[in-house]
Amino acid sequence: MIERLDLDALVARIPDGARLAIPADYAGVAMEATRALLRRGARNLRLVTVPTSGLQADMLIGAGMVVEIETSGVTLNEHGLAPRFTAATKSGRLRIVDTTCPAVHAGLQAAEKGVPFMPLRGLLGTDVLAQRKDWRVTDNPFGERGDAIALLPAIKPDIALFHAARADRHGNVWIGRRRELAAMAHASAATLVTVEEIVEIDLMASDQTAAGVLPRLYVGAVTVANRGAWPLGFIDLYPADDRELARYAAAARTDRGFAEYLEGALRRAA
């Protein structure tokens, strides 16, 4: 049986200084767990967004809990720029590791395959390649001389954190079409998941569900968090709360506004 924890116990497994992989807003963001992490006051987190982020990264950055972020973008989408990410970038207090969406996926794929790097050709000639001293360009060993290709090191997060629709009592987690969540879990040393519900059936027992399941082998712990992605939307279960997202976007434009929003959000969550 999988270990079931409450939210505070779940996020206690994310140590200060952890390299934390988090999914894009559309893929199942563990916002309830993020609020628990904010209450705890984590420090020196190094985020890896898969491949982008929004509200989750912005709140953690605004709370001063992040020292580094590897990302291809942080935005509140139709609600505008991510204000705390923008402010931290301008002030220089946040280290930005610039990347691209394909590069993030390639790095995770290298880690899940247990190889030190992954080749990727589309980066050649780009500005981002010039900024990444840890990326290498070499000749394709199977091609003609002068056939260049970029080599990207494996991305190995300490923790993958995401929200899913359901898990079974064995710890198998249904992720549906969101295969990037599987890549995150395969690449990470540990995976923590919040879910809408625990079901009694074995999700691996039927072909109708097994194809969309992350097996328990890759899941460290699970906790139930009803509407755990709110105010972000989550698949077909509930839409994004646009009023709340707009309220955050307006408040977080200033340090004081963000602090007041965060205090109220954590008080309501508690």
User: Percentage of the chain surpassing pLDDT 70?
Assistant: 98
Residue 2 has pLDDT above 70, yes or no: no
Residue 111 lies in a domain: no
In tens, the pLDDT along 152-181 reads 999 999 999 999 999 999 999 999 999 999
CA distances 4 to 19, 22, 200, 220, Å, are 23, 20, 14, 9
Alpha-carbon torsion, ordered 119, 122, 127, 130, to 10 deg: 20
Token output for 105: 């996926």
Q: Which of 6-10, 101-105, 144-148 has the lowest mean pLDDT?
A: 144-148
pTM confidence score: 0.95
Domain count, the chain: 1
Residue 209 lies in a domain: yes
In tens, the pLDDT along 13-32 reads 999 999 999 999 999 999 99
Return the amino acid letter for 186. H
Residue 159 lies in a domain: yes
Confirm if 23 and 178 have CB atoms less than 8 A apart.
yes
Residue 107 lies in a domain: no
pLDDT of residue 130: 87
Q: What is the DSSP string of the chain?
A: ---B--HHHHHTTS-TT-EEEEE-TTS---HHHHHHHHHHT--SEEEEEES-BSHHHHHHHHTT-EEEEEES-BB-GGG-B-HHHHHHHHHT-SEEEE--HHHHHHHHHHHHHT-SEEEESTTTT-HHHHH-TT-EEEE-TTS-TT-EEEEEEPP--SEEEEEEEEEETT--EE-TT-HHHHHHHHHSSEEEEEEEEEESS-TTSSHHHHTTEE-GGG--EEEE-TTTTTTS-BTTTB---HHHHHHHHHHTTSHHHHHHHHHHHHHHH-
Query: The domain containing residue 167 runs over which residues?
Result: 7-99+155-269
In tens, the pLDDT along 243-261 reads 999 999 999 999 999 999 9
Confirm if 69 and 91 have CB atoms less than 8 A apart.
no
- With 0-12 CB in 10 A as exposed, 13-18 as middle and 19+ as buried, what is 212? middle
Residue 137 lies in a domain: no
Residue 198 lies in a domain: yes
CATH code where residue 185 lies:
3.40.1080.10
Return the amino acid letter for 209. T
Q: How far apart are CA 104 and CA 187, in angstroms?
A: 11
Residue 148 lies in a domain: no
Residue 196 lies in a domain: yes
Confirm if 99 and 128 have CB atoms less than 8 A apart.
yes
pLDDT of residue 208: 87
pLDDT of residue 79: 96
